[in-house]
Amino acid sequence: MTNTTASLHHRLRAFQRSDKLPAIKGIRRGIERESLRITPAGQLAQTPHPRVLGSALSHAHITTDFSESLMEFITPVSDSVETLLAQLNDIHRYTVRHLDGEQLWPLSMPCLLKEHEHIPLAQYGSSNVGRMKTLYRQGLHHRYGSSMQVISGVHFNFSMPDSFWVEWHELEGNGRYLQDFVSDAYLGLIRNFYRFGWLIPYLFGASPALCGSFLQGREHKLPFERLGKGTLYLPYATSLRMSDLGYTNNAQAGLNISLNSLDEYVSSLRRAIGTHAPEFARIGVKVDGEYRQLNDNVLQIENELYAPIRPKRTAESGEKPSEALDTRGVEYIEVRSVDVNPFSPVGIEPGQIRFLDTFLLWCLLTPSAPLEEDEIALNRRNFNKVVMEGRKPGLMLEVFGGESMPLAELGEQYFAELAEVAALLDACCGRGCYRKAHELQLAAMRNPEETLSARVLSELKQCNTDILPFGLALSRRYNEHFAKARPRYWDDNYFDEEGARSQARQRKLEESDAVSFDDFLAAYFGQSENGAA
């Protein structure tokens, strides 16, 4: 038994005591699910964000991401899986009923795309804050192209309850301030996620294929096979969304964002935001009186950092994410590597949430050494292998400090430890749910044909169909589902009132601006230059 395993078991035993078990109850979760609005023919909707859904700038639950057509649904934080999914269902139900003939695309990779200029940027009104949000997206368009920005995912926010931190701090705090202990532990979780996180696209990747229109004008050397008239796929891929074709950015590979301490993370993030990038300078910032991007630095703002997982702290009004982290420490983590599950009307299933609970608690309790350059590069190679060919028989992954091992063998080792964490969660609050979720994913670990990506490819091949009719059929099925669905947590009156409130909040922002947009940006980034990015 390794020291790491022994220490994990020591921590598990400490929390298995009857007087410690209640401390684990109350895991807090939130979900942000993205989905494109499409026409009945499967093309990207060109209409503005529906006014009936309120202000995309200030609505609590219904907003947009990069494009007017890319919707984002946000749940509140909840300590109940059932409540979380009830809220997510009601957000979908209300939205779908107000799309005026349009539909929601149920896959991570986009629907039928025309030229890039047909991807309308999200608009947030005339306030300085709203204009800055749109300009940031304009910068993304110029830097990376728009097609990458309309890929959809599910972001999973996770935090342990205060009671857990109090108990663990008493066991291992060693005199450190509680919040410092919490921040260090969350960063340890993140480092372990980079080590073991290839499991997430292996199990929950659902984008092994894409519409050929996505690659128009883009160079690649991948050995795609073809289905139907225009669908391209890789036979063993799990998540093209998380590959170099999708929601990653090779230009950021050299940023060296450190995860070994909160101070190092914030400092390296601020350095990236403040570092001039010649390739982005060629775009220009303000050309002929029109802005093209917020600035010509490596990152315009913190949100431009592409990462499968991030440390987070809820920011106060006017506060930057790095300021919030620096001032008050890590509050929760955001997992960004989960594909939209096309077999769920809301993009994620209860068993997935419970497995994520198990996996993230395992990453948290497993001792986590600092990450150095060699191991970072190894983790990146493993992750890329899994997203491109994760279901390939006999696929080998690298083990830091040792020889390569078959993915299946590594998975068995990890799942043996995950089983103990699942048992701990069931003992305090699961009623067998965590064991069932674990067994379901263990079956997929042992049989790649049971993964989401394999199920998607199987359906496409069985029908010999393109991704477009496959997605449209699911979209229509979910439209019918939500048309019949009854409210589970919020009724229509709640959303009607929140829509009106959000529009009032936007008007108030627009009326309260006291400086020009130029001065607003100068003040915002002037703070960054003084170390408060």
Is the pLDDT at 402 greater than 80? The verdict is yes
* Residue 276: strand pairing partners: 297
Q: Is residue 528 pLDDT above 50, yes or no?
A: no
DSSP at 239 = B
| pLDDT of 247 | 57
Residue 531 has pLDDT above 90, yes or no: no
Return the structure tokens found at 310: 């991030």
- Mean pLDDT (the chain) is 93
Q: Is the model's pLDDT at 478 over the cut of 90?
A: yes
| Percentage of the chain modeled with pLDDT above 70 | 95
DSSP letter for 275, please.
S
**Which of 223-232, 326-335, 440-449, 470-479 is predicted with the least confidence, judged by mean pLDDT?**
223-232
* Interatomic CA distance for residues 35 and 482, integer angstroms: 15
Is residue 521 within 8 Å of residue 132, measured between CB atoms?
yes
Q: What is the pLDDT of residue 426?
A: 96
Q: What tens digit of pLDDT does each residue of 88-133 get?
A: 999 999 999 999 999 999 999 998 887 655 899 999 999 999 999 9
Q: Is the per-residue pLDDT at 532 higher than 60?
A: no
Beta-ladder partners of 33: 73, 154
- The token pair at 387 is 């997203």
Rg (CA), the chain: 23
pLDDT at residue 382 greater than cutoff 80 = yes
Angle between helices 262-273 and 178-196 (to 10 degrees): 70
Residue 225, SS3? strand
Phi-psi label, residue 530: left if phi above 0, alpha if psi -120 to 50, beta otherwise: alpha
In the three-class reduction of DSSP (H, G, I as helix; E, B as strand; rest coil), residue 490 is classed as: coil
Question: Cα–Cα distance between 378 and 229 in angstroms, integer?
Answer: 38
Average pLDDT over residues 470-499: 97
The SS3 call for residue 75 is coil
In tens, the pLDDT along 288-301 reads 999 999 999 999 99
Kindly write down the DSSP assignment for every residue of 295-358, as one continuous string: -SBS-SSGGG---SEEEE-PPPTT--HHHHHHHH---EEEEEEEPP-TTSTTS--HHHHHHHHH
Span 152-172, average pLDDT: 96
Q: What is the pLDDT of residues 340-370, one digit of tens each?
A: 999 999 999 999 999 999 999 999 999 999 9
pLDDT-derived band at 1 (thresholds 50, 70, 90) equals: very low
**The pLDDT of residue 248:** 53
